Structure 1
Amino acid sequence: MGSSDATADLLKKLSPDHDPNNFYGSLTATAKGNPGDVLKTAPSDFSLGFTVPGWKKSLATRVAYVSTNVSGHTIPVTGTVLRSPVKWNGPGKRPLLAIAPGTQGAGDSCAPGKKMDQGLGSEGITISTALNRGWHVALTDLPGLGNPAIQHTYMNRVEQGRATLDMARAAGRMGLKGLSPKNPIATWGYSQGGGASAAALELQPQYAPELNLVAGMAGGVPANLFTTANAIDNAPLAGAIGYTTNGLLQAYPEIRPEIEKEMNAKGKALLKESADQCAEETMLKLGYTDSRTLTKSGKPLGEIMRNNPVIKAAIQRQEIGNLTPQVPVFVAHGTHDDTIPVEQGRIMAQKWCRAGAKIHYQEFDLPRLGPLIDHGTPMIASLQPAMDWLDAGFHGKGYSLTSCSDIPS
């Protein structure tokens, strides 16, 4: 077997397209109903190798639910609800943690709900930690992941935030024991998921004011895509520029002529190739791509994004920090994050705080270990502090907060 065949075989094992009973394949581009309505459910499982005392397969349920895209049309999104078998020892109803996943890729086989019961996925530690604390979990797949009728709108602020909120809505409408619209809810996410969680927290007062949202965690937030585009250029996750561009084309088709005008043949090929890839394959095949090789002008894509007014306007809509969360937020970021530089996390937290939001800001000054690793280690380091912070609030002990003047500039 040649090296390319061996690599292809490895990638199939990393991201099998698992679709029991055509649950995902039968989805369409539109959905009828109100945001958060349940379209269908099916049994699932959680087998990522982490111990949860008393775990049973019957406690995991796959769900398709209604959300809203940037054009105001209702669309189907999928996710998984996991009910904790651990006794809740706090006051009132047990909490629901609405998790948005970090970067999975753009292909339909990348949906976390597809990977979860195959022993794959990147959210297992977070899920198991929450379940072990007695919290229920609702994990969205985010728009387009798993649904062959819709391209994943990677990093789209509005669609990811709405999908996270609608996942929480759907969890309370599924008729599952121990879950109702009255459960206290916190959002959670890191990296792409951090952006989705942060966007959900910003959008909730207008989009889902009835939700019993009490707090949120947003880590490694890509609050400024111009800055992030520069950071990932010629780096391990360089191919993610294809995810972002394809997502913009799905959400804002009016920018297609401008993209066509700027991208050369290699750039257009990257867009096509990355559209169906999961992150592992993208890093193996497209890692360390120099974006100057993708454009007709030979200029970096980050520069083109800033200078082309049509593309720039679409990307500016994704900036996080211009609306104000109405609940306390734990903001985490790595000081030496090479993929999503810390400055954008600081700016977002400062803007929120000065607008009156209650912020706990924690920066993790960890040793530099290498490209992309320096983005991942703060996710691990922030897990327990953020869980403890949320747990204190769930137990009625309040949330520790950071004064605006103590957030680094």
Structure 2
Amino acid sequence: MTGLDARARAAGLGGGARRWTLLVGSLVAVPVGAVLALRPFVSLAVLVVGVAVGLVVLGVVRLVTGRPAADGATADVVPSRWWWLAGVAYLAAALVVVLWPGPTIRVLAVAVGAVLVLDGVLDVLAAQRASGSGRAGALLSGATSLLLGALALAWPDVTVLVVAVLVGVSVLFAGLRGVAAAVRGRGPHRPTRWERRARPGARRVAGEVAALVVTLALVAVGIGIDRGTHQPDDFYAAPADVPDEPGRLLRSEPFASTEVPADATAWRILYTTTREDGTPTVASGLVVAPRAATGADARPADVVAWAHGTTGVTPGCAPSVLPDGLAAGAMFVLDDVLAQGWALVATDYAGLGTDGPHAYLVGRAAAYDVLDAVRAAHELDDVALSDRNVAWGHSQGGGAALWTGIVGPQYAPDVELLGVAALAPASNPSALLAHLPEVSVGALFAAYLAQGYATTYPDVRLDEVVRPGARVIVQEMAQRCLAERGVVVSALTALLLDQPVWEHADPYTGAFGERLDQNVPSGPIPAPLLVAQGTADSIVVASSQDEYVDERCSAGYAVDHRSYAGLDHVALVEADSPLVPDLLAWTHERFAGEPPADSCP
């Protein structure tokens, strides 16, 4: 971290209490740094204690090695008080962690960043009076500290991962260097085989180079994450005067994408809709129509209202914002839809293109978004749409499609719904939540669910649902879209978590549990219903879907339930899935008015 070898010699660490203090402190730093860097997510208490201990060790090392050389070699460049200031700064940061644990993660990122920058500046200044390998080591060490500090201050998404990794790496490197400096400060000794084969200065420089390489890798990751983040443009901003009536088209413009075939026309739309609590809001979406449905001789196209799968829960995660956004929402068969002469109306859901919050796995809100997108699409001047509609949805969108069938007759009786196709639908949020610990990145979906419910329902509080050590993690995960590069950080975090994010072993109690139960689409669906499920689905498990279908059958509702052997969650709706021809044929039957099949006994 900072030219400890030169400082150790300057401080007279050839023997005595100072050398032993450095050695003991550095030996403590090595395991503490390793734990922080590799296992930072066990609990907030462990993180706070580890960070505090690490900062104390760093501070002690600075103070012990902070005395300038007796001949004033370093004093001319870096006064003694500045070395002491670095040590005191680390100790002050540790005090902040202990006395102010509430906002520790965010505050600590700034505190650590500032201290690392100061440390790096001191190393660079010290290098001016050093020579040979000493100068190279100090410069490399200073560059490492400056980059780590800048990363802590400027990382585009300050998270517990950043704090833990930066502090852990800093403490680990300081410990290793301190041990080496203390050992070399013992005075003459018989050289080892390695010491006879390599100069100590070269080894020190090699260590500094390794530290710098690791730091540059972290910087590259940060830059990549920043560049991979997508933000909605001005199109998605609500106008000053928005009508209360749902389903009104507010804005539209042509939409160009590699996903839109050359013989089709697309628009992105902004329209009015309704939140879960009944208040008006705005949402965005896409309309894609075959060329035959546009122009002077347009033939009205039947409509497939598409409810997309999970893309995230924050503005920027809308399919109309993301590159390849339809595929991100699991729409892989747009060509097939258009080839049938149908138009696709795909809501983004409120809060993914437009301002949030996004009501993730909140059924009624999603259904309103689907139905109002169809209404708004009919107000486009450049496309002819028929009054016949079929709703498709996958995963999150499958649940939205089920709810569209339930609330449509009352909320939007003007939208004629001829069928509902729910593909691997999230039909039971409680069952989905219970299975998430078995999913490798289940914590990411748990974060979406916790954030979505906490921002939608006033009686669901994040700090009552999520354990303290995971609250910042959950909030930061919720800021990343599944299709952006930063989700890699979420995935790594999810893999490193040693326990679920929930405050209680049974998260289905209280207001959160009640709201989960309320979002099971258990009401009547007058339109013909298709439920399709892959038997190898690792997210929405087939047994849970079977239970949902059995409950509907027991309630006297008709269901066309189809299972597809060996297909996982996304594979079910990919272009080569055996579901696709079945789904197209089923949709043709709905538009033709043929009687639906019923799998219920």
What is the TM-score of this pair, normalised by structure 1? Answer: 0.83
Amino acid aligned to 1:278? C
Task: Measure, in 2, the Cα distance between the counterparts of 1:202 and 1:242.
Answer: 27
Q: CA deviation at 1:389?
A: 1.1
Residues 229-284 of structure 1: per-residue CA shift (max 9 Å, x gap) = 1222252242111111111112112222xx31343333210232023210144453
Percent same amino acid at aligned positions?
Answer: 22
- Equivalent residues in 2 for 1:3-402 (5 A)? 3-11=217-225, 15-17=229-231, 19=233, 22-24=234-236, 26-27=237-238, 31-48=242-259, 52=261, 54-55=263-264, 59-85=265-291, 93-115=300-322, 121-148=328-355, 150-179=356-385, 182-233=386-437, 235-256=440-461, 259-280=462-483, 281-282=486-487, 283-288=490-495, 290=497, 292=499, 294-296=501-503, 299=505, 303-304=506-507, 306=508, 308-320=509-521, 322-366=522-566, 374-380=568-574, 381=577, 382-396=579-593, 398-402=594-598
Residues 124, 375 of structure 1: alpha-carbon distance in 2 compared, 3 angstrom cutoff: closer
Aligned length: 375
Contact kept, 8 Å, 2:289 with 2:338, in 1: the verdict is yes
Distance in 1 between residues matched to 2:285 and 2:530, nearest whole Å: 24
Larger mean Cα displacement after TM superposition, 67-76 or 165-174: 165-174
Q: Tell whether the 8 Å contact from 2:331 to 2:573 is kept in structure 1 after alignment.
A: no
SS at match of 1:239: helix
Q: 2:421, 2:256 → 1: CA distance? A: 25
| Partner-residue secondary structure (3-state), 1:255 | coil
Q: State the SS of the aligned residue for 1:268.
A: helix
Structure 2 residue ranges without an equivalent (≥5)? 1-212
**Residue 16 (structure 1) shift:** 2.6
Q: Structure 1's 165 and 211: CA in aligned 2 closer, same or farther, altered over 3 A?
A: same
Taking the aligned partners of 2:335 and 2:449, their CA distance within structure 1 comes to 30
Contact 1:192 1:221 in 2 (8 A): yes
TM-aligned CA distance change 1:3 to 1:391, over 3 Å: farther
* Cα contact 2:330–2:394 (8 A) shared by 1: no
1:403 paired to 2:599: yes
Any idea what the Cα deviations from partners look like across 1:321-357, whole Å, max 9, x if unmatched?
x211111122101112121112332233333344454
**1:247 aligns to what SS in structure 2?**
helix
Amino acid at match of 2:263: G
Q: Which one-letter code corresponds to 2:447 in the other structure?
A: G
SS at match of 1:129: helix
Q: Tell me how far apart the structure 2 counterparts of residues 29 and 332 of structure 1 sit (CA, whole Å).
A: 42
C-alpha distance in 1 between matches for 2:467 and 2:364: 29
Indicate how the Cα distance of structure 1 residues 171 and 268 shifts in structure 2: closer, same or farther if over 3 A, else same: same
Q: Distance in 2 between matches of 1:285 and 1:28?
A: 39
The residue type equivalent to 2:440 in the other structure is A
Distance 1:9 1:196, change over 3 A: farther
- Sort the Cα spacing of 1:211 and 1:355 in 2 relative to 1 into closer, same or farther, 3 A: farther
- CA 119–329 in structure 1, closer or farther in 2 if over 3 Å, else same: closer
Q: Secondary structure at the match of 2:359?
A: coil
Residues 339 and 375, structure 1, Cα contact 8 Å, conserved in 2: yes
1:125 match: secondary structure = coil
Q: 1:166, CA displacement in angstroms?
A: 1.1
CA distance in 2 between partners of 1:391 and 1:11 (Å): 43
- C-alpha distance in 1 between matches for 2:359 and 2:511: 18
Counterpart position of 1:370: none
In structure 1, give the amino acid aligned to 2:339: N
After TM superposition, give the deviation of residue 79 of structure 1 in Å: 0.5
Separation in 2 of the partners of 1:289 and 1:357?
Answer: 43
**TM-fit CA distance, 1:175:** 3.0
**For the residues of structure 2 that align with 1:356 and 1:385, how far apart are their CA atoms?**
25
Shift of 1:6: 3.9
Q: How far 1:68 moved relative to its partner?
A: 1.0
User: Per-residue displacement from partner, 1:89-132 (whole Å, max 9, x unpaired)?
Assistant: xxx94210110111101221211011257897344523222112
* Amino acid corresponding to residue 319 of structure 1 in structure 2: V
- Per-residue displacement from partner, 1:54-81 (whole Å, max 9, x unpaired)? 23xxx21111111111111011011011
Cα distance in 1 for residues equivalent to 2:554 and 2:352: 35
CA RMSD after TM alignment = 2.7
User: After alignment, is 286-295 or 210-219 more displaced?
Assistant: 286-295
Structure 2 CA distance for aligned equivalents of residues 273 and 167 of structure 1: 30
- For residue 309 of structure 2, give the secondary structure of its aligned residue in structure 1: coil
Shift of 1:378: 1.8
| Unaligned 5+ runs, structure 1 | 368-373
Q: Which has the higher helix share?
A: 2
Which amino acid is 2:337 matched to? A
CA distance in 2, matches of 1:77, 1:169: 12
AA in 1 matched with 2:255: S
How much has 1:360 moved relative to structure 2?
A: 1.6
Q: 1:359 to 1:244 in 2, by over 3 A?
A: same
Asked whether the equivalents of residues 271 and 283 of structure 2 are also in contact (C-alpha less than 8 Å), the reply is: yes
Offset of residue 202 of structure 1: 1.3
8 Å contact 1:360–1:400 — kept in the other structure?
A: yes
In structure 1, what residue type is equivalent to 2:332?
A: I
Q: Is the 8 A contact 2:271 2:282 kept in 1?
A: yes
Compared CA separation, residues 126 and 223, structure 1 to 2 (3 A): same
Distance in 2 separating the partners of 1:288 and 1:140: 32
| Residues 261 and 403 (structure 1), Cα distance of their counterparts in 2 relative to 1, 3 Å cut | closer
Match of 1:23, as an amino acid?
F
Q: Which has the higher contact order (CA 8 A, sep 6+)?
A: 1
Q: Residue type of the partner of 2:590?
A: G
The normalised TM-score by structure 2 is 0.58
Of residues 163-172 and 9-18 in structure 1, the stretch that sits farther from structure 2 once superposed is: 9-18
